[in-house]
Amino acid sequence: MTGRRFLRRMALATVLGLSPVVAWSASCCGGGSSSSLVMPKFSRAMVAASMATEHYDGFWDSDGTYREDPPNSDLNQYRFNLGYAQRLASRWQASVSLPYVWNSNRYSGLDSHTDGLGDAAVGFWYEAFDNIKCVWKVRNWADLEPAIYLGATLTVPTGISPYDDVSNNFDITGRGFYRLDANLLLDKTIYPWNATLALSYGKYLERDVNREYGNYVEPYRKRLGDRRLASASVGYTYFLESMDTLTFTLAYSHLEEAAGRIDGQPDPSTEMLKRAFAATVALATMDRDWVLKGSLSHAIPENGWGKNFPVTNVLSLEVSHVLR
Amino acid sequence: MCCVSRWLALGLILLLTGCQDLTDDLAPSGADKRPAVQAGSSGGRVGQLSPDFTIEDTLYTPHSLYTELTGADAVVLYFTMWCPICDSHSSHLRRYVVPEFPNVRFFLVDYVDDSVAASRAAQMANGYTDFTVLADVDDRLETLYDAAMGTTVVIDSTGIVRMNEDYKNGDKLRQTLESLP
């Protein structure tokens, strides 16, 4: 049994997890809780590279019931993400990120290894503040003001999707749809504590489809459902003797997508929900120009923690450098 | 700084231009590119006459296509590998489609498990004991219908393939079954 088509579809399921669930929770001070492509205030640019390994551990069905994968299954995805952020003005910054994806799957004894470019993302952020909002002591109400970021992210379908010509390779690495997200990020640091709240609402753009898994089909119009993401985190920073910092962060995220549309009719098959916890350790240099970060995201393999989505654990390592 | 930006931009361009299939998603086409089917030909595409097949279900009971079509309006094959999307489709099929068409034979086709026993175990673990599951352990049906996960095939009582595509939201399946003679 080749199972090649199944593996392609599984790869599609895996790329659902590519979105930056907690990737852009930032600190305006730099070197804080986490962060990929939201750079600190007063910096000119930032380069970030990360490697993530995602292991699949069963799935939640459409009723939210947890189901294990078949025996002898071992489903993994590895991602290398390269990002660059550039300041455009004192309150504006832009970023671009591009992942490369490797899928390594064994399912019922079948082996498959595929790779390809993932979906790219282009983001713009507006900083609704002029001064750094990190404080050591609360002296007045103004010290409680968080750093507020307003952003927009465009996901560009540069990955290999089910609608491409994928007849010979296990190469699905993207969803095949443009998506525009509106983002709100609140970040507050009162040393040594830090808290963030990130909210995102995304709309996929409708597209034509005339091919599925290499086979041409009767053309139709398709749009995935609106995407909602909420993430909250709390962190604690230790100052080392060298004045480098070590920040421990715990985060909770809630991600869901509504039913899609096919030729204007509801398509519940893509409706999903995923809740996950993440723990992050970030080591930042004294000047906060270099940040090394390790993170573990864990989804609960129990009933009710998700719907119509794989249960995964993600281990990631990221290094970022800020250019002043 | 300037050099870093240039190299990054150059790298991105090389990556993007070097990847095949990229423009299929960046600028999707709505053109109908399905190959023409010769009338009266045999095969698994829409409009073709489906070859007969005999395959065991997960209880080792053999099922032949044309025997199943005797007295039925159609046979529906849904290709599953028991993943989240499969479950979503199968659940929708069971809840909203099967009850509306009592004279249609519905089968799930497990094309990934490599033994009847493994297929039965997956069927039970996923809660589909009310369906007849065909164990496609040698890929015959997958090959015949060029199927992928979620592929739904409708064969009418004369053996003509009426539908062969992803289940999506089930509307196409319902329309196909409603249009049967």
> What CATH number does the domain containing A50 carry?
2.40.128.130
What percent of chain A has pLDDT above 70? 86
Burial of A40: CB neighbours in 10 Å, binned 0-12, 13-18, 19+: buried
Report the complex ipTM.
0.78
Pairwise CB contact (< 8 Å): A116 & B89: no
Candidate from A6, A63, A218 with C-beta closest to B81: A6
Pairwise CB contact (< 8 Å): B19 & A116: yes
pLDDT tens-place string over residues B125-152: 889 999 999 999 999 999 999 988 889 9
Report the number of distinct structural domains present in chain A: 1
Pairwise CB contact (< 8 Å): B169 & A63: no
Q: Is B8 on the interface with A (CB under 8 A)?
A: yes
B49: CB partners within 8 A, 6+ apart: B40, B41, B42, B43, B158, B159, B160, B161
Pairwise CB contact (< 8 Å): A156 & B26: yes
pLDDT tens-place string over residues B47-59: 999 999 999 999 9
Look up the CATH architecture of domain B42-178. Answer: 3-Layer(aba) Sandwich (3.40)
Cα–Cα dist A3/A7, whole Å: 6
Among candidate residues A126, A176, A236, the one with its CA nearest the CA of residue A15: A176
Q: What is the pLDDT of residue B60?
A: 97
B57: CB partners within 8 A, 6+ apart: B63, B107, B132, B133, B134, B135
Q: Could you list the residue range(s) of the whole structural domain that residue A278 is in?
A: 3-323
Cα–Cα dist A148/A126, whole Å: 8
DSSP letters of A190-245?
ETTEEEEEEEEEEEEPPEEEEEETTEEEEEEEEEPPPEEEEEEEEEEEEEPTTS-E
Q: Where are the domains of chain B?
A: 42-178
Give the chain A residue whose CA is nearest to the CA of B24.
A164
Candidate from A67, A110, A267 with C-beta closest to B168: A267
Among candidate residues B83, B106, B89, the one with its CA nearest the CA of residue A12: B83
pLDDT tens-place string over residues A250-261: 999 999 999 999
A-B C-beta contacts closer than 8 Å: 184
